[in-house]
Amino acid sequence: MTAQLKEQRCVSLSQLSDLRLLREYAYIDGRWCSADNRQIIEVTNPFDGAFLGTVPNMGASETRQAVDAAKAAFPAWAALLPQDRATRLHRWHDLLIENKEDLALLMTLEQGKPISESRGEIDYAASFVAFFAEEAKRMNVENISSHLPNRNMSLKREPIGVTAAVTPWNFPCAMITRKATAALAAGCTMIVRPASETPFSATALAELAERAGIPAGVFNVVTGDPAPVVGELCRNPIVRALSFTGSTEVGRLLLSQGAQTIKKMSMELGGHAPFILFPDIDLDQAVEHAVGAKFATSGQDCLAANRIFVHRDIYDAFLDKYAKAISELHVGNGLDEGTEIGPLMHDRAVAKCAEHVEDARAKGARVLIGGTKMGGLFYAPTLLADVTEDMKIYREETFGPVAPVIPFDTEEEVINRANDSEYGLAAYVYTSNHDRAARVSNALEYGMIALNCVKITGAPVPFGGVKQSGLGREGSRHGLEEFTELKYVCAAFAPQA
């Protein structure tokens, strides 16, 4: 890094109580490494563009080194007793909690999200570490009733081997622990390639993994441009499983790259969640929940309520209350305690919000609140009413603070419209009628259904989507199974003479 860049470094970093948590290197085989060609990626704060630091811009050859290190570390890690893996994971969990303030500060600085949300994400991230530490001890499978004479038949679950994770910038810590601790608990080793926008959450995790006694080569972080690093992870035959969180478009590309080596691929991809409000509800509560479901992470959330379907009987009343609630959201620097909406990640995210709003406005939607750029990477929290099927926002993820509202008349109509999407991650339904709740949740083509609530995720539940929202599940024992293979053992024995 040049002396000039060092001087310009964001002053907020000085608030870190443990400066060693800001690691500007990749972590391979227990060593902190630069790129072979000394190339770097600069990391900046999306709030004001302030310089935060750099990480190595590695390529395929450094990625191969990480894969080889993970391969060498695998036998000893897999051979540990599950309770010994669990002990180290529990230590890692405790270190995350002890360092929560520093980790949250790093996250807000590189990602922009409000500091209260960053603290929440550290708790969420740590909960996977604790959960999978315990789950390591329960990789039990089953015995099989033999269909052949004189045989004992059993199944074992074995770690799949070397694994890889490719993670996005919107949840820079939790998307790593949700994958990595499941893999490590199962006895696998892993190479993580974090998004280039938010590498410091990943390298801080590596620093704490090292302090927790996770052995060299078991958990590796390779930073660098996506195509060479992820391309190598997808094509390298030593990598037996790859878990990706990101857009459906990139997921498709990685599936095709991984096909060369018949990898086990799990995919947590885009979402376009319907948020359905029937008339028999507590409207004030529904409005409060609709704010949370749309505007958390400043709208940059795969679970975001992207199509808010409101029954015509409560349509106007909902819009009035929702507009008021949105107008009260506090936009600003994520480091300020009162901030509820931070900056977006890129110029292109701001441009996409503007494009969706202009397209909707031109096709007849009413802009009730917002609808403007606010300078820098900020877009005003926006409410669009009367959204129709021909508008881009009806089909595409905006990934920003724009709430599109659509009126409906009948249960059948809203089910059909909610299912009319290539996505199938999460759906929200509000009704006090139990029969309707059962009918609608049965009919919705989504991996996760939230009935009269918005907070549904957590370590014990299987997170994931259907259709083009993904393959596989994360969290819960099913998340651990993604990193295992079943082995069937058939043992013959001599019958009694």
Which residues contact ligand NAD by CB under 6 A?
166-171, 195-196, 226-227, 230, 245-247, 250, 253, 268-271, 302, 397, 399, 425, 470
Tokens at 37, concatenated: 């060609």
What is the Cα–Cα distance from 173 to 261, expressed in whole angstroms?
Answer: 28
Closer residue to ligand NAD in complex, CB, 207/397: 397
Are the C-beta atoms of 186 and 480 separated by less than 8 Å? yes
Q: Which of 243, 244, 201, 237 is nearest to 221 (CA)?
A: 201
Q: Which of 229, 10, 1 is nearest to 112 (CA)?
A: 10
Closer residue to ligand NAD in complex, CB, 27/278: 27
Closer residue to ligand NAD in complex, CB, 189/398: 398
What is the Cα–Cα distance from 299 to 399, expressed in whole angstroms?
Answer: 6
What is the Cα–Cα distance from 401 to 398, expressed in whole angstroms?
Answer: 8
Closer residue to ligand NAD in complex, CB, 120/279: 120
Minimum distance between the CB of residue 381 and ligand NAD, rounded to whole angstroms? 19
Please confirm, yes or no, whether 302 is among the known catalytic residues.
yes
State how far Cα 230 lies from the chain centre: 17
Minimum distance between the CB of residue 251 and ligand NAD, rounded to whole angstroms? 7
Closer residue to ligand NAD in complex, CB, 12/398: 398
| Angle, in degrees to the nearest 10, between helices 174-186 and 115-135 | 10
Closer residue to ligand NAD in complex, CB, 286/450: 450
What is the Cα–Cα distance from 276 to 440, expressed in whole angstroms?
Answer: 10
* Burial grade of 299 (CB within 10 A; 0-12, 13-18, 19 or more): buried
What is the Cα–Cα distance from 409 to 345, expressed in whole angstroms?
Answer: 37
Report helix, strand or coil for 246.
coil
Catalytic residue among 268, 340, 397, 474: 268
Chain residue at closest Cβ approach to ligand NAD: 246
Backbone angles phi, psi at 485, to 5 degrees: -125, 150
Within 10 Å of residue 192's Cβ, how many Cβ atoms?
30
Minimum distance between the CB of residue 56 and ligand NAD, rounded to whole angstroms? 15
Minimum distance between the CB of residue 234 and ligand NAD, rounded to whole angstroms? 8
Closer residue to ligand NAD in complex, CB, 226/332: 226
What is the Cα–Cα distance from 383 to 138, expressed in whole angstroms?
Answer: 47
Closer residue to ligand NAD in complex, CB, 52/325: 52
Distances in Å between the alpha carbon of 129 and those of 87, 106, 124?
11, 19, 9
Minimum distance between the CB of residue 37 and ligand NAD, rounded to whole angstroms? 20
Tokens at 68, concatenated: 């080889």
Minimum distance between the CB of residue 271 and ligand NAD, rounded to whole angstroms? 5
Minimum distance between the CB of residue 493 and ligand NAD, rounded to whole angstroms? 47
Buried b (16+ CB within 10 A) or exposed e, 451-481: eeebeebebeeebbbebbbbbbbbbbbebbb
Are the C-beta atoms of 254 and 230 separated by less than 8 Å? yes
State how far Cα 304 lies from the chain centre: 12
What is the Cα–Cα distance from 191 to 161, expressed in whole angstroms?
Answer: 11
Closer residue to ligand NAD in complex, CB, 55/369: 55
What is the Cα–Cα distance from 207 to 32, expressed in whole angstroms?
Answer: 9
Q: Which of 207, 151, 197, 186 is nearest to 16 (CA)?
A: 207
| Angle, in degrees to the nearest 10, between helices 199-211 and 174-186 | 40
Minimum distance between the CB of residue 437 and ligand NAD, rounded to whole angstroms? 24
What is the Cα–Cα distance from 396 to 295, expressed in whole angstroms?
Answer: 17
Closer residue to ligand NAD in complex, CB, 99/469: 469
Catalytic residue among 207, 302, 353, 474: 302
Minimum distance between the CB of residue 290 and ligand NAD, rounded to whole angstroms? 19
Minimum distance between the CB of residue 227 and ligand NAD, rounded to whole angstroms? 5
State how far Cα 429 lies from the chain centre: 22
Please confirm, yes or no, whether 268 is among the known catalytic residues.
yes
What amino acid positions are annotated as catalytic residues? 268, 302
